[in-house]
Amino acid sequence: MLGGKGANLAEMTNLGLPVPPGFTITTEACRAFLEAGREPAGLRAEVDAHLADLEREMGRTLGQPDDPLLVSVRSGAAFSMPGMMDTVLNIGLSDASVAGLAAQAGDERFAWDSYRRLIQMFGKTVLHVDGELFEERLEAAKRAKGAASDLDLDTADLRTLVAVYKDLVAKEAGEDFPQDPRVQLDLAVRAVFSSWHGDRARLYRRQERIPDDLGTAVNIVAMVFGNLGPDSGTGVAFTRDPATGKQGVYGDYLANAQGEDVVAGIRNTVPLAELERLDKASYDHLLRIMATLEAHYRDLCDIEFTIERGTLWMLQTRVGKRTAEAAFRIAAQLVDQGLIGEDEALRRVTGAQLAQLMFPRFADDTGEAAESAAAEAPVRRIAQGIAASPGAAVGRAVFDQETAVRWAERGDRVILVRRETNPDDLAGMVAAEGILTSRGGKTSHAAVVARGMGKTCVCGAEALTVDPVQRRFTAPGGVEVAEGDLISVDGTSGHVYLGEAPVVPSPVVDYFEGHRSAADDEPDGLVGAVHRMMAHADRSRRLLVRANADTAEDAARARRFGAQGIGLLRTEHMFLGERRKYVERLVLADSDDGRAAALESLLPLQRRDFAGILAAMDGLPVTIRLLDPPLHEFLPDLTELSVRVALAEARGDDRAEDRTLLAAVRRLHEQNPMLGLRGVRLGLVIPGLFAMQIRAVAEAAAERLREGGMPHPEIMVPLVGGVQELEIIRDEAQQVFAAVAAETGLDAALLSFPVGTMIELPRAALTAGQIAEAAEFFSFGTNDLTQTTWGFSRDDVEASFFTAYLAAGIFGVSPFETLDRDGVGRLVALAAEEGRAARPGLGLGVCGEHGGDPESVRFFHETGLDYVSCSPFRLPVARLEAGRAAV
């Protein structure tokens, strides 16, 4: 009800900390205002009463001409929200009271500075006058005076500026700046209420799924003044380093300043440690308060404070934002300090933070290796953009997609630089190491597509002027970058460098790989902290984690990263390269014998693939998916082949095989291959194909058994929509198992492996009870299930209309990234429940990308699945999130 800011102000007041007196109008009042379009009955009387209390406590009234009480009016919802109204300071000043303020403070300049600030802030945020117009006039006043900073403007200058501002307000807003202090207050409160429905605020809420009807609180706080001379000032502080988590004094301080000056960069701030020299008593007081806050909130806090003539005032605190590294280190430190338990520590770190720590980084950002970088080539930071998709990418600047593709093909690493991207740039984005744009935010096309591809991207680097025609861009300070010049982009920090910035591998990945242990780390170091959080997550989680892995190397890495089996082994890559010719023969075979011969050639190759993986995953389950993609993907491209045949015919050199192949490619060509002849349909239409794969599995397992291994393959049938499809393949599998047992003389029980199915069609989910009669396990293929449930093609949407969808707030994040609980999630829950009802021991897992997505892992835990399966690199994230979901 009090909003974050109001609640924490009240909390600090209750702790006995020096907070200027004030009161908070609750979110309830805001909701009532928004509903009725006017202030709720009773609000005025309540504000009157609380204002009277405040005035009594302060010993003067709002705007009192000879000694005015001034207040700030500050918004503050339960969630901090960009796009809502800022704060208005110095409410209560007017032509009449400015003289009183001057007399009381004994400082005329200060009073006029406060007044011009009020008109500026009020004009901009309450009366909606373009803020730039005020800035322009302030700049003009400084120029006229030859002043370097606002401090060089004297009383007369500020008086003139006030007059200029008042004219500006009258002209732009069509009404005079209100002189009645109570009118100022009421209008400011109303503006805070209304800002809840600002466009940016709405969009932000829609994307973040923050309910639209919460409303904001309004804090009315007696002003204290940091602009009362050199013994006053304003600052921000953190109780720990938000970058590394180290406890200490971190922050910035600006003497003789008010409000946002310290973050607005209008003058140079000094490090907070300087305050000890400037004002030792206030500094010591601040440190004591920081200790109190840490003990109370049991976490890193950030703080806004003001010193008025040697007296310290606390204006805000909250549990502070921090980098991923600091999050882990602070969680571990707080456990050691006895402030929180291990469960709480685990709740305070996220899978998204862990994922960030696993990207390679530029040395510059860690401080490591900075010297060697300086010694080699000069690497210079030239711009800062929006960190849209993490990673560290180095390459040659290229300005169009054709060049990107051409240069990448000849082996160059390239960075695609554009003003903004659109779907036509897609091939270039795929070819590039990274993407850099000068326009657009986190939901721009470049950002969305790059994140989808896991590609490094910095967008909206507005200081860059990109000229695609001249193939160059310029950066501030006369930097010119031409096509072919090396640049580096850091998608984690948003930094852009000229030259090849040295990349350091992630110490966290080194740790997961087993190249570095927590014991090697500095005390309180990152690796030690990650190690402890992972250990607690592994102890706590109920969900098992498996990997999506297709090769023995992937399987081995997956094991190092903590995989408890393979949840998805795709077999399609086993039909590529050299082996395409067998697929061609299989498709072209016009007799059973021909088909059998082609399958016969594939069998030993497949057996070898499976044996390698079963060995790497010895003792753990390996779920092998039978061939899924449409066969045409393994055949030549229709257009290319048509041209080849036509040319050959024209030359009179026409080869019968090519013509037959072309006919087959035509026959297999589909308008909508993802909804076509694929998955179990292939197995049913091409006799012997699935049986060959199943035999390869069984024979590889038999081989492992004879060598003393413990193979646990599971056969998974893709794209089943009805139980009848599955029954046919299951019967076929059982015959193959029995045959291989008989041939090898092994016990039939040892060679009978589970047969299950993917649940990736809505019909499969809806008929899960029937399908479970024939399936020993389900694995939710949530990529296809999302595609088939929403009816969007996952290969096309990211590039075509998702940008528009994200911008319109239809979803905050792609449903291919985070599982859509309301739709796809219901199908998963239904299938899990009805499947288990039909077959109590039914195994349940997930093998879509969602298996490694933090939000989705939580859902799978809540739905009671047995495991999630994801790419090896995402395993630590899945383990951590499974642990977090359980504590």
- Is 304 one of the binding residues for ligand ADP (CB under 6 A)? yes
* Residue 259 partner contact from ligand ADP, Mg ion, none using kind-dependent CB cut-offs of 5 to 8 Å: ligand ADP
Chain residues 44-83 in contact with ligand ADP, contact rule CB under 6 A: 72, 74
Give 271: exposed, middle or buried? Use CB within 10 Å, 0-12, 13-18, 19+.
Answer: exposed
Closer to Mg ion by CB, 241 or 304: give it.
Answer: 304
Among 4, 20, 721, 835, binds ligand ADP (CB under 6 A): 20
* Residue 781 partner contact from Mg ion, ligand ADP, none using kind-dependent CB cut-offs of 5 to 8 Å: Mg ion
Question: Please, where are the H alpha helices in 433-500?
Answer: 445-453
- Classified as helix, coil or strand, 415 is strand
- Is 784 one of the binding residues for Mg ion (CB under 5 A)? yes
The nearest distance, CB 196 to ligand ADP, in angstroms, is 14
Q: Which residues contact 103 (CB under 8 A, 6 or more apart)?
A: 66, 67
Chain residues 641-660 in contact with ligand ADP, contact rule CB under 6 A: none
Residues belonging to the chain: 887
Closer to ligand ADP by CB, 236 or 700: give it.
Answer: 236
Chain residues 196-235 in contact with ligand ADP, contact rule CB under 6 A: 221-224, 234
Q: Which residues contact 405 (CB under 8 A, 6 or more apart)?
A: 427, 428, 431
Q: From the candidates 30, 301, 445, 459, which is the catalytic residue?
A: 445
Size of the site for Mg ion (CB under 5 A): 5
Residue 445 designated active-site: yes
* Residue 87 partner contact from ligand ADP, Mg ion, none using kind-dependent CB cut-offs of 5 to 8 Å: ligand ADP
Q: How far apart are CA 343 and CA 781, in angstroms?
A: 31
Closer to ligand ADP by CB, 315 or 481: give it.
Answer: 315
- Classified as helix, coil or strand, 365 is helix
Closer to ligand ADP by CB, 259 or 395: give it.
Answer: 259
Contact call for residues 594 and 645 (beta carbons, < 8 A): no
* Residue 845 partner contact from ligand ADP, Mg ion, none using kind-dependent CB cut-offs of 5 to 8 Å: none
Chain residues 679-738 in contact with ligand ADP, contact rule CB under 6 A: none
* Residue 365 partner contact from ligand ADP, Mg ion, none using kind-dependent CB cut-offs of 5 to 8 Å: none
Residue 459 designated active-site: no
Contact call for residues 483 and 403 (beta carbons, < 8 A): yes
Residue type, 700: A
Closer to ligand ADP by CB, 260 or 538: give it.
Answer: 260
Chain residues 35-54 in contact with Mg ion, contact rule CB under 5 A: none
Contact call for residues 381 and 495 (beta carbons, < 8 A): yes
Q: How far apart are CA 497 and CA 460, in angstroms?
A: 15
State the binding site.
570, 625, 760, 781-784
Contact call for residues 81 and 205 (beta carbons, < 8 A): yes
Q: Which residues contact 531 (CB under 8 A, 6 or more apart)?
A: 511, 517, 518
The nearest distance, CB 718 to Mg ion, in angstroms, is 6
- Please count the helices (runs of H) and the strands (runs of E) in the chain: 37, 30
The two structure tokens encoding residue 385: 């953009």
Closer to ligand ADP by CB, 20 or 499: give it.
Answer: 20
The nearest distance, CB 510 to Mg ion, in angstroms, is 34
State the binding site for Mg(2+).
760, 784
The nearest distance, CB 201 to ligand ADP, in angstroms, is 13
Closer to Mg ion by CB, 665 or 771: give it.
Answer: 771
H or E element: which one contains 221? strand 217-222
Cα torsion angle, 418, 421, 426, 432, sign:
positive
State the binding site for substrate.
570, 625, 760, 781-784
Pairing relationship of beta strands 233-240 and 301-308 according to DSSP bridges: antiparallel
Q: How far apart are CA 748 and CA 89, in angstroms?
A: 82
Chain residues 311-330 in contact with Mg ion, contact rule CB under 5 A: 316
Distance of CA 233 to the CA centre of its chain: 36
Size of the site for ligand ADP (CB under 6 A): 17
Among 119, 191, 315, 566, binds ligand ADP (CB under 6 A): 315
Question: Please, where are the H alpha helices in 464-525?
Answer: 507-513
- Is 314 one of the binding residues for ligand ADP (CB under 6 A)? no
Closer to ligand ADP by CB, 311 or 734: give it.
Answer: 311
The two structure tokens encoding residue 47: 């504000």
Cα 53 to Cα 49, 64, 101, 298, 670, distances in angstroms: 6, 15, 21, 33, 77
The nearest distance, CB 31 to ligand ADP, in angstroms, is 20
Among 92, 245, 259, 630, binds ligand ADP (CB under 6 A): 259
Closer to Mg ion by CB, 616 or 759: give it.
Answer: 759
Q: Which residues contact 366 (CB under 8 A, 6 or more apart)?
A: 504
* Residue 784 partner contact from Mg ion, ligand ADP, none using kind-dependent CB cut-offs of 5 to 8 Å: Mg ion
Contact call for residues 319 and 255 (beta carbons, < 8 A): no
Residue at token pair 């009870």: 769
Cα atoms in the Cβ-side hemisphere of radius 13 Å centred on 356: 20
Chain residues 811-850 in contact with ligand ADP, contact rule CB under 6 A: none
- Is 327 one of the binding residues for ligand ADP (CB under 6 A)? no
* Residue 166 partner contact from ligand ADP, Mg ion, none using kind-dependent CB cut-offs of 5 to 8 Å: none
Q: How far apart are CA 289 and CA 286, in angstroms?
A: 5
The nearest distance, CB 263 to ligand ADP, in angstroms, is 8
Cα atoms in the Cβ-side hemisphere of radius 13 Å centred on 301: 23
- Is 760 one of the binding residues for Mg ion (CB under 5 A)? yes
Q: How far apart are CA 243 and CA 681, in angstroms?
A: 53
Question: Please, where are the H alpha helices in 19-174?
Answer: 27-36, 43-58, 97-105, 108-121, 131-145, 155-173
- Is 781 one of the binding residues for Mg ion (CB under 5 A)? yes
Q: From the candidates 457, 459, 847, 870, which is the catalytic residue?
A: 847
Chain residues 81-120 in contact with ligand ADP, contact rule CB under 6 A: 86-87, 89
- Is 282 one of the binding residues for ligand ADP (CB under 6 A)? no
The binding site for Mg ion (CB under 5 A) comprises 304, 316, 760, 781, 784
Any idea which residues carry the catalytic annotation?
A: 445, 847
The binding site for ligand ADP (CB under 6 A) comprises 20, 72, 74, 86-87, 89, 221-224, 234, 259-260, 304, 306, 315-316
